Structure 1
Amino acid sequence: MTMFADYDQILERLSLNQLWNFPGGIHPPQQKTLSNQTNIEFSPLDKTYYVPVKQHIGVNGKILVSEGDKVLKGQALTRSELAFSVPVHAPTSGIVSKITEHVSAHPSGIPELTIIIESDGLDTWTELHPFPDYTKVKASDLVERICDAGISGMGGAGFPTHIKTNSSKPIEFLIINGIECEPYISSDDRIMREHAWQIRQGIDILVHILGPKQVIVAVENNKPEALETMSIACQQKSNYQVVSVPTKYPAGGEKQLVQVLTSREVPSNGLPIDVGCIMYNVGTCYAIADAIVEGKPLLERVVTLTGQGLKSPKNVWARLGTPIESLLKLGNYDSSSQKTPRFIMGGPMMGFTVTSILTPIVKISNCLLVPAEDELPHPEDERACIRCSACSDACPASLLPQQLFWHSKAKELEKAEEYNLFDCIECGACAYVCPSEIPLVHYYRQAKADIRNQKEEKEKSDKAKIRFEARTARLQREKEEREEKHRLAAEARKASLSKDGGAAKDKIAAALARAKAKKAAMADKSASSTGSTQTQKDQEKPVSKDEISAVTANTEAQLVDKQALDEASSEAAIEASTDNAEALKKKRVAAALAKAKAKKQAAENKKEETNSASTEKAVTAKKERVSAAVAKAKAKKLAAEKAKKENNES
């Protein structure tokens, strides 16, 4: 088990500048003098700014503006609604022309949601609310102001600063990272030289919020001017110590720097706070001072413009959302120095080639490298691994890059995780020393992305399974509740029947008596009047005691034998219903007969009327034919007589 130095031992070694070391590491050419010889310049106001909604690790904020809105410099464009969300602000005053997808500052260049602002040229500030005397302000209010200012880690990780600052764990060492170990980049160097006092203000604010025992400002020994200015700025504070760290890449890595300064190793998948340390970049400290003391949100950052492809390499204050096209003009880009245009955002070790000159500067953009053709040659074709173990020797995280490469390339993701893939900081030291030109970091990044996608899919699947199981359990529970409700109701009915058994038997006996009486009455009606009178007289006789005893005995027997009573009851009901049915049937038959007779009589009457009418009509027609025949005969006779008379006269 590794033994770490305790607090007092660490302070003693720091006072003697006797630091520890981390495994691996490399010493590439620094190339920092290209850009660190002149003061930081201010970039001129651009016409168009492309402000991505998300510029940090976490989630998007809620958009507060719409297309066509007028905005002022420093006005919030989004609002933080979730823990891992920080807002973005307008870099100048103007009009929101579009809210759309735009090329991202990412190796893939995948478009992301972006607010496009057309500058009005006035650069008018929104109203600011500074805290000049922050010592009288509660720590929670300062953390909220840091969040509202949109500050995230500016050393490259982009972790929301307010999350780290809101820690409740005890802190022994507050470490201020001024290492800037990657070649070519000099933005932190220049900001420490020119703004050491404002960085000190930011450190004081963090001390007020966090209350650490000791502050360590770490500066790499290849930055003597920055080391001197920071020492002067912090000399009045007895618990602030500025430390010179030997130059080695990647000494600026969070876990590596903690190990160099304290000998403590941050556990796998852990954070520096787990070993009593917390770390901030010098650029982040500057932004915190701006937000608290001046009330300004994070609108700009120092960006190094470097490489032999630029005629005027320098450091500039670039507003967030500035397209790199404008920065290329500011650095006097020499297109003749490159056969194919190649622009790298970040340094040569961890940077990436942008896909468009409209790629915007974001909160983690610290460098724009434009190498000449022979300055930073394109990587050669990948060759087979020769198992030289150079990558293992260079790895600062004590991993086995060769095994990680094999499992990542073969998509054996579980194996890659077993070899602690996610402890890789993607520093590129392994790829730098690889004689086979294998882009090892590329494989690691792809494997990490695949694992994250798998975990997201599994998480979605698990949530769906939980929802399904919860629904099934709910339906089963409701079914059981219904069955239990029905069971209790049945038991209640059964108990009620048992309790009221005597009354129920009395009701049955009464029903039987009524049925028999009704049947007897119907029989009496069918008897002769004499027999009825005699029966009535017999019924009017007083009932004897023997008869009463017989009825009582019969009732008791019925109460004892419930089944017999039920059957008797059913039979009586059936008989009663049968008698009623017969009577109803007779009535219906009689009605049907009467209806049929009436119908038959109506038909006969109609037939008689029809026959009578037809007979009368036939007689009338016959009379008419006879009359017509008689008339015709008379006419014929007259005509014959007339003709005979005329013949005689002639």
Structure 2
Amino acid sequence: MTAQIRIHDIPGGIHPPENKAQSTTRGVEQPPLPARLILPLLQHIGVPAEPVVKVGDHVLKGQLLATAQGRFSCALHAPTSGTIAEIGPAPYPHVSGLHEPAIVLDSDGEDRWVELEPIADYRALDHVTLVEKLAAAGISGMGGAGFPTATKLLSRPDHRIETLIINGAECEPYITADDMTMRHYPAQVVTGIEILMHVLTPEQVLIGIEDNKPEAIAAMREAAQHNPTIRVVPIPTKYPSGGEKQLIQILTGREVPSGGLPADIGVLCQNTGTALAVHDAVMLGRPLISRVVTLTGGALERPTNVQALIGTPISELLAFAGLQRERLHRLVLGGPMMGFTVDPQAPIIKTSNCLLAATEQELPTPPPALPCIRCGLCAEACPAQLLPQQLHWFALGKDYPQLQRYNLFDCIECGACAYVCPSSIPLVQYFRAGKGEIRAIEQQHTKAEQSRVRYEQRLERLQREAEQRERDRQARAEKAARAKAAREAREAQEQQTGAATEPDLARVKARIPTLSPEQKQLKIAAATARMALQKAQKQLNANPDNSDLQAQVVQLEQAHAEAQQAFEQATSQEDT
């Protein structure tokens, strides 16, 4: 009998109202095909994809639209068949609300697939080939920040992955996308897990699911019962147990080092939605073009979960769920703890797991923040064992070195500290802003360091060039000195042997040709005639139609030829 997995507790955490039941009664529905899809080129952490299509191109469902740019990037595929309408800035689901480059696809309504290439037996392939298949399918993490899955699988090639953890905790209120994925696609999720096992060869696989999801636990246990390596582990319901580091600690008792990765302790985490996407990519040959999204909140008539195409405008999904605009107070992408207000014209992307159309009663307007009373409740709730009240003061004072000393970047921005704060201080906003400032400063320092290095390299190059010029000058001076010494030595030798200098000068003068007075006159006449001819030719070039100049040039050419001939004849007679 398999040994029982010991469940470990995590520090801090809270128990907010779950509000999950309202969106789990209708299964996973299929919304209508959108008329227009907006596909941002950045749907993951890293570098935006590069378009390989142009406006006017007709594409098929699953066809490659943009290629990954390096390891930290993901390919993008067409969620349906249609025509490329635009490539440029478009609404983007981000806390900033800014537009981002995107490909806009107008559907033709036919939803025709490109030819797919499923893999009949993935076990016959090596892990590198499988990872390349996942990269080509554009799969990124679907439960967090969207880290490219292929890169994550190869992030620590020198580390042995002993434990593969599948994150099915889904601890945040309202969100049920992973729950419904495990209920309705358990066999596909398990197959995706086995494909990941083939790549990583872990010693054990642990599927962590909060105990408030009994249907998902039962479905996953039944689907995985044939594989003894895979263990479904119910964990206590507590927010934020679904955080990567927190789930690792709950299931293994080990803590990821500050600033480190799970691979540093032999662990790798993947989301259940990612496992389903891995199954579709390998077994069906389908790229990542859709995902399960929770549509919930008091402003919706029929909360549900949908299998939505990537790029579907949020407004169309809300309309499918029966949005009551008069009741809508705040539209949040994600959950109430870590989500952010979003523009309904923006599309869903690969990391979009929930749309919360909240009423005033569900997400009331927070009261004005009051001064911190140092109650310490935030520190008690922090799952990362930080000191939020200290970080708050350092963030207010823009004391960035202190923020780093107090491990600001270990904050997972779960919002537990702000949830329990009696002064209603938006702590997470301060921490997020502090991280952004520190990253900006580090980027400036990096650029300054690069500029310094380039400046020093330029100085070194100029110094080398100056030294080379000095060496060349010295070499020329030495060569001239040697020539002068040789000449002086030769002259001294001639003086010692009694050789006279005057005969040498006479010989040199004898080589210089001399002209008689008559020859000199003829030479001057020829040169004068040549100069007159050249002057006339210039005037003729400026006025080519002048007949007088043409006649004058002919006469001067004849005069020059006669003068030159007379000089040459006189010179030749003298030589003979």
Q: Aligned pair in 2 of structure 1 residues 518, 248: CA closer, same or farther (>3 Å)?
A: closer
Tell me how far apart the structure 1 counterparts of residues 114 and 460 of structure 2 sit (CA, whole Å).
Answer: 56
Structure 1: tracts of 5 or more residues without a match: 1-11, 522-572, 577-586, 592-650
2:295 to 305, 324, 329: 305
**Within the alignment, does 1:223 sit opposite 2:213 as a pair?**
yes
Equivalent in the alignment of 1:382: 369
How far apart are the structure 2 equivalents of 1:164 and 1:77?
A: 23
Residues 498 and 390 of structure 1, relative CA distance in 2, 3 Å threshold: same
1:453-497 deviation digits (Å, cap 9, x = unpaired): 111111112111111111111111121122223334444555566
- Report 1:133-212 matches (<5 A): 133-166=121-154, 167-168=156-157, 169-212=159-202
Distance 1:518 1:476 in 2: 48
**Counterpart pick for 2:99 among 102, 111, 136:** 111
> 1:126 aligns to what SS in structure 2?
coil
Write the distance in 2 (CA, Å) between the matches of 1:509 and 1:375. Answer: 118
Query: How big is the shift at 1:269?
Result: 0.8
Amino acid aligned to 1:441: V
Q: Is the 8 A contact 2:330 2:363 kept in 1?
A: no
**Which residue in 1 is equivalent to 2:559?**
none
Unaligned runs of 5+ in 2: 510-516, 522-576
Matches within 5 A, 1:175-574: 175-338=165-328, 341-354=329-342, 356-491=343-478, 494=481, 502-506=489-493, 513-515=500-502
Partner residue in 2 for 1:94: 82
| 2:29 paired residue number | 41
Contact 1:255 1:266 in 2 (8 A): yes
The CA deviation at 1:235 is 1.2
> Could you state the TM-score of these two structures normalised by the residue count of structure 1?
0.75
Match of 1:65 among 49, 53, 63: 53
Q: How much does 1:375 deviate? A: 2.0
Question: What is the DSSP-based 3-state SS (H/G/I as helix, E as strand, rest coil) of the residue aligned with 1:343?
Answer: strand
Separation in 2, partners of 1:170, 1:29: 39
State the one-letter code of the partner of 2:336.
P
Q: 1:126 to 1:514 in 2, by over 3 A?
A: same
Q: Scaled by the length of structure 2, what TM-score is found? A: 0.85
Q: Which residue of 91, 111, 116 maps to 1:123?
A: 111
Three-state SS of the structure 1 residue aligned to 2:414 is: coil
* Paired amino acid for 2:41: V
| Residues 156 and 365, structure 1, Cα contact 8 Å, conserved in 2 | no
The AA in structure 1 aligned to 2:251 is L
TM-superposed deviation, 1:378 = 1.5
Select the structure that is richer in helix.
1
TM-superposition CA deviations, 1:224-248 (whole Å, max 9, x none): 1111111111111122111111111
What is the deviation of 1:188? 0.3
Q: For 1:70 and 1:201, how far apart are their aligned partners in 2?
A: 34
Read off the aligned partner of 1:408 and give its amino acid letter. Answer: A
Q: Which amino acid is 1:145 matched to?
A: K
Aligned residues: 513
- Is 503-512 or 124-133 further displaced after alignment? 503-512
Deviation at 1:516, TM superposition (A): 8.3
- Relative to structure 1, is the Cα distance of residues 509 and 66 closer, same or farther in structure 2, using a 3 angstrom cutoff? farther
Given that 2:292 and 2:306 are in contact with CA atoms closer than 8 Å, whether structure 1 keeps it comes out as yes
Cα deviation 1:246-299 (Å, max 9, x = unaligned): 111000101111111111110111010001100000000000110011100000
Structure 1 residue 446 displacement after superposition: 0.8
Rounded to whole Å, the distance in 1 between the matches of 2:323 and 2:100 is 27
CA-to-aligned-CA distance 1:579-614 (integer Å, 9 cap, x gap): xxxxxxxx9xxx9xxxxxxxxxxxxxxxxxxxxxxx
Deviation at 1:187, TM superposition (A): 0.5
Which amino acid in the other structure matches residue 292 of structure 1?
A: V
Secondary structure at 2:194 match in 1 = helix
Q: Which amino acid aligns with 1:275?
A: I
Q: What are the superposed Cα offsets for residues 284-321 of structure 1, whole Å, 9 maximum, x if unpaired?
A: 00001100111000000000011111110000011111
Identify if the C-alpha distance between structure 1 residues 211 and 508 changes in structure 2 by more than 3 Å, giving closer, same or farther.
Answer: farther
Equivalent residue of 2:398, what SS?
coil
Q: CA RMSD in A?
A: 2.5
Q: Compute the displacement of 1:17 (Å).
A: 3.9
Identity within the alignment, %: 47
